[in-house]
Structures are given as C-alpha cells and as structure tokens.
C-alpha cells in the first residue's frame, strides 16, 4: 500500500478524494496536522499536532464490515481498556479517544481515522489522549501497530480466513452502547430506548413501540 505523508492538510479524507480523481487507488494519506478535519454530519475534528490523522483508500469491498472492524483494530493498536461508542467513536472512561469517518467516493471507500495520541486537549473535557492514559507514547508506533493489524485482517477477509461472525462477536464484547438506555438522533426524529443489538446493518432499540432498527444515528447515553 502506497503511503503519502503530509505535514499539513485541510482534511486527509478530502485530500484522498483529489487523489482518487487523479486515478490513485489503494493508498493511505497521513498528516501531522489538519486544519479542517472532518467528523460525522459535517462536524469538525480538532486536529492539533501530536495526534494521528490518516485516511485509507481501497476498492469498495467490505464496506459494510469496516464500521464494525475498524474500531476493533484501533483498540488493539492502542492497547488500552477502551470501548466502542456507536457509531464511530472510541472512548476511555466516557471520554473520546478516537473517531472514525467512513465515506464512499466514486467506486472507492475512504476510511478516515483520528486518534488523540499526545496532542494538547486542554479545555476539552469530553476528550482524552493516549499520553494522559499511558504516559509517554510514540504515535509512529501506534500507527504501525494499526497498519499492520489492518493489512493482516484485510488479507484474511480477502482470503476468507476470517468470518464476519467472528468480527461481530469481538465488536459486541467491546461495545459500550449495547444494553444502554439512549437517545438516538436521526435526521427527522429522536428515538429513546435500550440498545438491543448492533450488527452490520445498524443499531436495534427496544422502544415503547417494540424493537426498531436503524442503519445509523447519533447516540447519547441517558443512563
């Protein structure tokens, strides 16, 4: 896989789209800093130096698996007792440690990842860095851990060595959302209920109207 290293960029996902337009495929873009890092629903990901900010571009295979697989691999790579908050956050004791933004562009899939490693998060009570959790940590080591894991799992997916059910089972063990009473915010409504299940097709809530399933949505834990 070709790796493109940048000092600064608006957004690694947006830069990746430009390269796709130029005919590039199967590559990774990594930057020391983003000045318009992207989160879900048009939000901005604060991307100061010291964090890991990168995007992987692949042919559009396994797009339904990546939202489940990528959080698992991040937790393995950072090696802390973190959890997955649906749909795209890695949290440690309730504070955001990493975020994922997966986009489909033309015939490619872009997996954007941000990890708070040793970046300054002063004043951000909802976020935490690996340095705060583990002490001294090297972002190059975290990046290499993740990339090696990703390439290993991707190869296994291509060869059929790993089953989807195994990935989903591992995800559920790491989920901090399953079993919680939450508010799910959707484009046209808000739904409250207890999270019954999460799978490749989305999130299921036990509500007053019964079990309802949604492909995506922003989750806020109510208890």
pLDDT at 42: 55
Is the separation of the CB atoms in 94 and 79 below 8 Å? no
Residues 138 and 210 reside in one and the same domain = no
In the listed set 155, 174, 193, which residue is the last one of a domain according to the structure?
Answer: 174
Residues 9 and 114 reside in one and the same domain = yes
Calpha distance 117→78 (Å, rounded): 9
In the listed set 135, 153, 174, which residue is the last one of a domain according to the structure?
Answer: 174
CATH for 29:
3.30.930.10
pLDDT at 182: 96
Residues 117 and 46 reside in one and the same domain = yes
Q: What is the dihedral of CA 221, 113, 105, 67, to 10 degrees?
A: -50
pLDDT at 34: 85
Parts of the chain with a pLDDT under 50: none
Q: What percent of the chain has pLDDT over 70?
A: 93
Instruction: Name the residue range of residue 79's domain.
Output: 2-174
Q: How many domains does the chain have?
A: 2
- For residue 110, how far is the Cα from the chain centroid? 11
- For 51-65, write each residue's pLDDT tens digit: 999 999 999 989 999
Q: What CA–CA distances, in Å, run from 25 to 58, 66, 109, 153? A: 6, 17, 10, 19
- For 136-184, write each residue's pLDDT tens digit: 899 999 999 999 999 999 999 999 999 999 999 999 999 999 999 999 9
Calpha distance 51→53 (Å, rounded): 6
Calpha distance 69→37 (Å, rounded): 22
């Amino acid at each position: 896989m070709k790796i493109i290293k940048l000092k600064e960029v608006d957004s690694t996902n947006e830069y990746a789209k430009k390269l796709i337009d130029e005919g590039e495929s199967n590559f990774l873009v990594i930057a020391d800093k983003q000045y318009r890092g992207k989160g879900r629903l048009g939000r901005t990901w604060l991307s100061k130096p010291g964090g890991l900010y990168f995007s992987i571009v692949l042919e559009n295979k396994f797009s339904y698996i990546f939202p489940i697989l990528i959080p698992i691999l991040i937790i393995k790579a950072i090696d802390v007792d973190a959890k997955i908050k649906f749909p795209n956050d890695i949290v440690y004791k309730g504070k955001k440690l990493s975020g994922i933004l997966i986009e489909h562009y033309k015939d490619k899939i872009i997996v954007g990842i941000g990890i708070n490693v040793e970046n300054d998060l002063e004043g951000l009570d909802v976020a935490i860095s690996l340095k705060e959790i583990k002490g001294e940590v090297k972002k190059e080591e975290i990046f290499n851990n993740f990339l090696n894991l990703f390439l290993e799992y991707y190869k296994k997916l291509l060869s059929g060595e790993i089953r989807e059910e195994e990935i989903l089972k591992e995800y559920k063990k790491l989920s901090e959302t399953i079993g919680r009473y939450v508010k799910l915010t959707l484009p046209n409504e808000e739904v409250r209920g207890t999270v019954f299940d999460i799978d490749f097709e989305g999130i299921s809530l036990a509500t007053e109207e019964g079990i309802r399933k949604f492909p995506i949505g922003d989750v806020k834990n109510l208890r």
